[in-house]
Amino acid sequence: MTKLTINKYAAKKIVQGIAVLDARDFPGNTYSEGFAELYFDHQLLSQAYFSRQNKGIGWAVKSIDFIQLLTDAKNKRQSYAQDTATTAYRVFNQDGDGFGGMSIDIYEDYALFSWYNAFIYTLKNEILTAFQIVFPEILGAYEKVRFESKLPISSHIYGKMAPEKFIILENGVKYQVFLNDGLMTGIFLDQHEVRGTLLEHLAAGKDILNLFSYTAAFSVAAAMGGAKSTTSVDLAKRSRELSEAHFKVNGLALDAHKFHIMDVFEYAKYAARKKLSFDLIVIDPPSFARNKKMTFSVAKDYHQLIADALPILNRHGKIIASTNHARLSRADFLDELKKGFGTQKFDVIETFHLPADFATNPSDPQSDYLKVFVLEVK
Ligand code: SAH
C-alpha cells in the first residue's frame, strides 16, 4: 500500500478522530486515488483512501477488512434486527461504522447500498461478497450512485428483485417503499425517531400541518398516533398518490387527511387568508431548493418558514423544525429559528439527532447532520 507522509494539520485531525480528509490539509495534491497509509513523524496514523467526493477528498478508515467492518456494524444493530415492529433501518453508516463513502440500508428482505465516490465503487465486488457472507438472510440488493459518473443512479445489483413497491414496518406503522426509482425510496429512514414521537405522544387529538411532506410519512405517523386531522403540502405532483397510498395501507380513511400540491410559501398565504389554524406544524425542507420564482436555502431562509407558520399556529401550538443540512451547525440553525420567532417567545421542548442506527463519528459533529427541534410557543 502507498505510504504517504502527511502534514501536521492533517495529522491533528486524524488524531482527533475526524475521518473525512480535507483538500486544504493536502496542499500540492500529493496523493493519488486509492488506498494509502498515512504517516506523521515516522508513525503510522491510519489507513485511508483518496477519492474526491461531495464531502472531502477521501477518508481515514478503521479497517479495510469488510467482513470485520460489516460484522461489527451488524452487531451494533441487534436491537433493530430483533424488533419485529420495525423492518427498515440503516445497517452501515460511513465513518460512524469505520469506513466513509458507503452506507447500507435494510428494507425488509432487501439491502440498499449508497456509494459516495468513484474509488469505493471499484471495491464493490469485494464489498458485496463480504456483505453476502455477513448478511445471508438478505435476498437481494440495489444501489444508488451518489457521485458524478455516467453510471445509472439506481440499479439492482444482486439476488432476488424486490417488488416495484412494497411495504416496510416502522414502529408497527406501514410505509410503502420503492428501491429502484431515482435516489429516493419513499421514506427517509433517518427521521424514524421523529415519526416515533408523533406516533407515541405529540399528535394525539391535534390538527397537524406537514410542510415539504414528500410521501407524507410524518402525517401518517401522526394519524396513526391519533391526530384529529393532517394536511400535507408538497409541490411535487407525484407526492399525492404516494401519500394517499401510505394512508390506505394503514387502513386510514382520507376524510380527515388532506393533500395540497402547492408551494409551501403559497400555502401559508392561502391558509392565513382562509383563517385555517393548526396545533402542530412540521417543517422539514430540503437544504436547497429552487423554483421558477425563487431559491431557498435552509441556512439563510428557514426563518421565513417559521415567520409564515406563526400566524396559522394555535395558542400553545408546536413546531417541529427539522434540517439535514450537514454544514449548518445546531447553534446556527437555532439562531435561524430564533430569527423567525422574532419577539414571539418559545420553549425548546424536545430535540433529536440522528438515531443510533445512523451511527455517527463522535469526533466529528458534521457527521450528525440531522437537527430537529420541537418548539412550543408561549
Ligand atoms: N419531510 C419529508 C421529506 C422532505 S423531502 C419526509 O419526512 O419524508 C423535500 C420535499 O420538499 C420534496 O418532496 C420536494 O418536492 C419538496 N419541496 C421543495 N421545495 C418545495 C416548496 N417550495 N414547496 C413545497 N414543497 C417543496
For the stretch 270-296, pLDDT in tens is: 999 999 999 999 999 999 988 777 888
Tell me the average pLDDT across 338-355.
98
- The closest residue, in CA terms, to atom 19 on ligand 1 is 289
Q: Residue 29 pLDDT more than 80? A: no
User: Residue 357: which pLDDT band, with cuts at 50, 70 and 90?
Assistant: very high
Domain boundaries, the chain: 2-61, 66-169, 188-377
Q: pLDDT tens-digit profile of 74-127?
A: 999 999 999 999 999 999 999 999 999 999 999 999 999 999 999 999 999 999
Which atom from ligand 1 is nearest to the alpha carbon of 214? 13
Q: Is any atom of ligand 1 closer than 6 Å to the C-beta of 188?
A: yes
Q: Is any atom of ligand 1 closer than 6 Å to the C-beta of 259?
A: no
Tell me the average pLDDT across 38-58.
96
User: Residue 1: which pLDDT band, with cuts at 50, 70 and 90?
Assistant: confident
**Topology (CATH level 3) of domain 66-169:** Transcription Regulator spoIIAA (3.30.750)
Q: Is any atom of ligand 1 closer than 6 Å to the C-beta of 219?
A: no
pLDDT of residue 211: 98
pLDDT of residue 290: 83
Q: Is any atom of ligand 1 closer than 6 Å to the C-beta of 199?
A: no
Query: Sheet holding 257-261: strands in order across?
Result: 257-261, 229-234, 207-211, 278-283, 313-323, 371-377, 346-352
Output the CA 213–ligand 1 centroid distance in Å: 6
What does the DSSP assignment read for 58-80? EEEES-S-HHHHHHHHHHHTHHH
Output the CA 124–ligand 1 centroid distance in Å: 32
pLDDT of residue 326: 92
Describe the crossing of helices 124-134 and 66-76 by its angle, rounded to 10 degrees. 50
List the CATH code of the domain at 188-377.
3.40.50.150
Q: Residue 197 pLDDT more than 90? A: yes
- Name the CATH architecture for the domain at 2-61: Roll (2.30)
- The closest residue, in CA terms, to atom 21 on ligand 1 is 263
Distance CA 224, CA 219 (A): 9
pLDDT of residue 91: 98
> Which amino acid is it at 56?
G
Residues 6+ apart with CB under 8 A from 163: none
Q: pLDDT tens-digit profile of 207-233?
A: 999 999 999 999 999 999 999 999 999
Nearest to 183 by CA among 291, 286, 72: 286
Please give the grid coordinates belonging to residue 203.
399528535
Output the CA 25–ligand 1 centroid distance in Å: 36
pLDDT of residue 30: 83
pLDDT of residue 218: 98
Tell me the average pLDDT across 327-343.
97
Which atom from ligand 1 is nearest to the alpha carbon of 218? 7
Residues 6+ apart with CB under 8 A from 202: 222, 225, 280, 318, 320, 374
